[in-house]
Amino acid sequence: MVSFTMGKLKDFMEVFKVKQTLLLLITGICSYLEGLRIAGKPFDALSFLAVSLSMFLTISGTTGVNMVLDADIDSLMFRTKNRPIPMNRLTKRETLVTSMLLIVTGLVCGLLVNVYVATSGLLGFLIDIGVYTWLLKRKSPWSVVFGGFAGGMPALGGWAGATGSFGLGGVMLMLLVAVWSSLHIWTLATYYVDDYRKANVPMLPVVYGEKRGVQGSFLVALIVLFISSAIYYLGLISIWGYVISVIPLLLAIVFLAMSLRRGNYRDASFRAFKMVNMFMGLFFLLLALS
């Protein structure tokens, strides 16, 4: 019985995409801490716990619903074919029921803090599942430009949990993550372009080619650099926090620019993917520490 439960737990951890959920949670928690600093409010353990739990549960549940809806695509792609649902280690039904329970519990936790935290959680779910997964992912190369705003919701909700409203700082941090999401996925999709093509997912590099995938990533990386600079000028992150976190982003920009001359689009995109994830984690951790 115990091994069965441990096995199920491991499968649910995979369905909830632990690494992605963790970085999303980091953006939300660090926005919360920065919001407290800017608002001059004291740290309140109960509020912090409720906001963190709300985000963890809604993000995990949303990812689980995405996995249920994408199970057919996942079974066709090398990168995702061994996931729990395509491998019949979890049923769609148990995954959907568990995910929806997590989302509802997460939204209630959010409401315990304020309506803004709950609203950002609900928007994250609706944009990820409604706009990205259901409406656009199988139809448009621009799906992630809109779906990325789901990724920005934890940052917005964290800020609102601390300050009591969606302030300029929260909107700027949300925008950073939302725009960064296109860079995050287009670098990955350029590396896995054959996989996405096999599954008929019209990601940018599938529709317009790998070079366009790199060009799109390069352009978005410059926009992310601009938004991160604006956040620095708003006084939300210190100069050393900004400089340290921007280094991997600049490296990604160099990798992408060089590949436009050398033609090694895939491996440059994969290296850029790792760099831009490092940028995101560093930026938010140093935002909260500075």
Using CA atoms, how far apart are residues 28 and 40, in angstroms rounded to an integer?
Answer: 18
Interface mask toward ligand HEM for 53-92; x: CB under 6 A: --------------------------x-------------
Residue 151 within binding range of ligand FPP, rule CB under 6 A: yes
Taking the complex as a whole, the smallest distance from the CB of residue 86 to ligand FPP amounts, in Å, to 11
Judged by CB under 6 A, the number of residues near ligand FPP is 19
CB atoms within 10 A of CB 262: 10
Residue 187 within binding range of ligand FPP, rule CB under 6 A: no
Q: Tokens 């976190």 belong to which residue? A: 245
One DSSP character per residue, 3-44 reads HHHHHHHHHHHHHTTHHHHHHHHHHHHHHHHHHHHHHTPPP-
In the complex with ligand FPP, the residue whose CB is nearer, 47 or 253, is 47
Taking the complex as a whole, the smallest distance from the CB of residue 57 to ligand HEM amounts, in Å, to 16
In the complex with ligand HEM, the residue whose CB is nearer, 148 or 241, is 148
Using CA atoms, how far apart are residues 9 and 63, in angstroms rounded to an integer?
Answer: 15
Backbone φ/ψ region at 17: left (φ over 0), alpha (ψ -120 to 50), beta: left
In our burial notation (b when 16+ CB lie closer than 10 A, e otherwise), range 24-38 reads: bbbbbbbbbbbbbeb
* Binders in 99-158 for ligand HEM, by CB under 6 A: 132, 144, 147-148, 150-151
In the complex with ligand FPP, the residue whose CB is nearer, 51 or 150, is 150
* Binders in 60-99 for ligand FPP, by CB under 6 A: 62-63, 66, 70, 80
In the complex with ligand HEM, the residue whose CB is nearer, 212 or 260, is 212
User: Are 269 and 213 in contact, with CB atoms under 8 Å apart?
Assistant: yes
288 binds, among ligand HEM, ligand FPP, none (CB under 5 to 8 A by kind): none
Instruction: Give residue 29's identity as a one-letter amino acid code.
Output: I
Candidates 23, 36, 59, 73; binder of ligand HEM (CB under 6 A) is: 23
CB atoms within 10 A of CB 195: 19
Interface mask toward ligand HEM for 226-255; x: CB under 6 A: ------------------------------
Give me the sign of the Cα torsion angle 66, 72, 75, 78.
negative
Residue 154 within binding range of ligand FPP, rule CB under 6 A: yes
Binding residues for ligand FPP (CB under 6 A):
24, 58-59, 62-63, 66, 70, 80, 120-121, 124-125, 128, 132, 147, 150-151, 153-154
